[in-house]
Amino acid sequence: MRKVATVAPLVLVPWIAGAAHAHETATSGGLGSGFAHPFTGLDHLLVLLAIGLWAGSRKGASEHAAPIVFLGTLAIGVVAGFSGLALPAIDPLLAVTVLVAGLMISARGSLPPWLARVALAIIGLLHGNAHFYAAPDAGGILAYFAAGLLAASALLIGVGLAIGRLVAMRPEKPELILMSGGLISAAGVVLIASAV
């Protein structure tokens, strides 16, 4: 297990670096385009899975609060984009959110709940704002955001949540959680290096 945790980031570095700039502005609106968007950027994909994994591997209210906080602030970030807010250096900031999400998993419950919620809220706002500026100028914008983007984000968080629950039932839970957090953190470091 330790060998896998050590070698996997090195093997994944070229793939992560190539995928860092894989997501582009959508060329068409509507539900399908919005649903596909979170799958096209490695930063979005990893953060959504990590939030679910973090919540699913914990007990208590965190399991329910994390997705709600993230999806709520994701929507607020989109609305902020509609209002004209454009955050500078968004690509490096999104890469940092991957690192933070990995570190949250590695913290294994030592993070105070209020601090975790603040981190999730900031991550949600950043990703929501980025999603807004990657949206198409064409019609179907409401379906793109309300149905497509939020549905896909909830689905990916749900996948991470299911994995987190499975990990929580394993006897080697601490090692698996630490390895998952380490892999996501390593991906975040590579994304940061690719974005700056």
CB distance 46 to 23 below 8 Å: no
Better-scored residue on pLDDT, 4 or 31: 31
Question: Which range, 106-115, 118-127, 132-141, 175-184, is most confident?
Answer: 118-127
Q: Output phi, psi for 161, to 5 deg.
A: -60, -45
pLDDT in tens, 109-129: 788 888 999 999 999 999 998
Q: Output phi, psi for 137, to 5 deg.
A: -85, -15
- Write down the pTM of the prediction: 0.81
pLDDT in tens, 15-41: 444 444 444 544 455 556 666 777 888
Q: Output phi, psi for 111, to 5 deg.
A: -80, 125
pLDDT in tens, 35-87: 677 788 899 999 999 999 999 888 766 677 888 999 999 999 988 887 888 88
Supply the pLDDT for residue 137.
60
CB distance 179 to 4 below 8 Å: yes
Q: How many Cβ atoms sit within 10 Å of the Cβ of residue 9? A: 17
113 vs 116: CA distance, rounded Å: 5
pLDDT of 11 above 60: no
Q: List b or e across 24-54, with b for residues whose CB sees 16 or more CB atoms inside 10 angstroms.
A: eebeebbbebbbebbeebbbbbbbbbbbbbb
